[in-house]
Amino acid sequence: MFNSLRLKIARERRGYTKKALAELTGITTRTLSTYENKGLLDTTDSTLVSRIADILNYPVEFFYADNPEQIVKEGVSFRAMTKLSASKRDAALSAGTLAVEFNTWLESRFNLKQHDVLDCSSEDFADPESAAQLLREHWGLGELSISNMIHLLESKGVRVFSLTENCVEVDAFSFWLDEKPFVFLNTMKTPERSRFDAAHELGHLVLHKHASNNGRQAEEQADRFASAFLMPKGSILAKVPSYPSLNQLLKLKKHWKVSLAALIRRTFDLGLSSEWHYRQLNIELSNCYGRKSEPEGLESRETSLVFQKIFNKLREKNISRTEVLNELKLPQDELSALTFNNPFFLFKAVVSKVRNGKATLSSNTSQPTLKVVN
């Protein structure tokens, strides 16, 4: 049977309004709404469904699969919900829905780690700084610098996915689902910003599992957690002098792999910089480097180790990309976007059609414990 929910997901992922998709398909908006809102349909126009699938660049089979577990906005930690357009929000939520479905497929074939994330949402003593220190102790990190945030999260059972350029307005987001923590990271940011985003979303998972993860207060708490988690107090006090110069901080930031702006803020939060000195450092930072680029930034971006291991295992078993795509009933570009453009799903995008000024893409194929389920 035709699944209306899947049409809605595919349309949102491609960024079309109902009106725009209806016009491209050659039907009325009312007809498209019928297809999108009627649940499971026994009778459909197969030619129309094929046309819709072609425009959205999704396999026809996708629209006849079972209901996925849909992600709702109330449970997701969007950083600036009031500034986020509905279309971008819906595209991100639909990406989350596809990722959950992909994760279910992975768990049916591999033994992925169970999470080891603390729940500090109901603990009065667990302010962001204390919660970050508590989690570091729980994970045996001490005051060490974190070499790779994504690898660390994956080793603790967090499901980490990447976000496509369709979600460029979304820094990152996270949620809990069936006692599984999910984190989504935008790969359009600087490597340092992406690391901070990962720690920020970890903060939401720890601090807001059973509390509101939206709003200004929740975002400030997650920021404070991320700062304390990436730059532990003892380590900062041991290495950073009082009233540090910008050049001193430029050299020291490499130890914690954070942005210069984040380290400047941390010196203020820990009393190493007065308010006046903090302002002067930010003025100097802006004058010397601007606000968009990262001075002496990291050369490479962090990516998933779990996906690398999984896809290597699939290759060893002679399971092809086509077989995986057919089982999942998903387009190749969606899986590539969710898996940090892993080479297993690597493709060269080419413009195959242009409709109403909008290009349709086609594709030319050219430390966690992981065990295969026998």
Q: CA-CA distances (angstroms) from residue 3 to 23, 46, 265? A: 21, 13, 49
C-beta separation of 197 from 210 below 8 A: no
Give yes or no: residues 158 and 299 share one domain. Answer: no
Give yes or no: residues 220 and 237 share one domain. Answer: no
Give yes or no: residues 311 and 164 share one domain. Answer: yes
C-beta separation of 96 from 71 below 8 A: yes
Q: How high is the pLDDT of residue 72?
A: 79
Give yes or no: residues 315 and 266 share one domain. Answer: no
Helices (H), 120-241: 128-138, 149-155, 191-207, 216-230, 233-239
Rounded to the nearest 5 percent, the helix, strand and coil shares of the chain are: 50, 10, 35
Give yes or no: residues 346 and 225 share one domain. Answer: yes
Give the number of other CB atoms < 10 A from CB of residue 269: 17
Q: 5: closest CA among 13, 87, 158, 296? A: 13
Q: How high is the pLDDT of residue 189?
A: 87
Q: How high is the pLDDT of residue 109?
A: 94
Give yes or no: residues 314 and 172 share one domain. Answer: yes
Calpha distance 338→155 (Å, rounded): 18
Calpha distance 372→357 (Å, rounded): 46
Q: How high is the pLDDT of residue 84?
A: 76
Q: In 214-303, at which residue ranges do the beta strands (DSSP E only) sit?
A: none
Give yes or no: residues 191 and 83 share one domain. Answer: yes
Q: How high is the pLDDT of residue 125?
A: 57
Adjacent-strand bridge partners of 173: 184
Q: How high is the pLDDT of residue 290?
A: 87
Give the number of other CB atoms < 10 A from CB of residue 195: 26
Give yes or no: residues 45 and 159 share one domain. Answer: no
Specify the CATH number for the domain of residue 11.
1.10.260.40
Q: Name the domain boundary from 264, 281, 303.
A: 303
Give yes or no: residues 105 and 203 share one domain. Answer: yes
Domain boundaries, position 42: 2-67
User: How many structural domains is the chain composed of?
Assistant: 3
Give yes or no: residues 182 and 313 share one domain. Answer: yes
Q: Name the domain boundary from 303, 337, 364.
A: 303
Q: 62: closest CA among 48, 45, 47, 50? A: 50
C-beta separation of 168 from 192 below 8 A: no
Give yes or no: residues 150 and 241 share one domain. Answer: no
Q: Which amino acid is at 74?
A: E
pLDDT truncated to tens, each residue of the chain (374 aa)? 899 999 999 999 999 999 999 999 999 999 999 888 877 776 778 899 999 999 999 999 999 999 888 887 777 878 765 567 888 888 899 999 999 999 999 999 999 999 999 999 876 657 999 999 999 999 999 999 999 999 999 999 999 999 976 566 788 999 999 999 999 999 888 999 999 999 999 999 999 988 777 788 889 999 999 999 999 999 999 999 999 999 999 999 999 999 999 999 999 999 999 999 999 999 999 999 987 789 999 999 999 999 999 999 999 999 999 999 999 999 999 999 999 999 998 754 443 444 444 444 444 443 444 554 44
Calpha distance 364→349 (Å, rounded): 7
Q: Name the domain boundary from 42, 67, 92.
A: 67
Q: How high is the pLDDT of residue 350?
A: 41
Beta strands 159-163; 180-186: pairing state: parallel
Vertex 186 angle, CA 68 and 181, to 5°? 50
Give yes or no: residues 31 and 129 share one domain. Answer: no
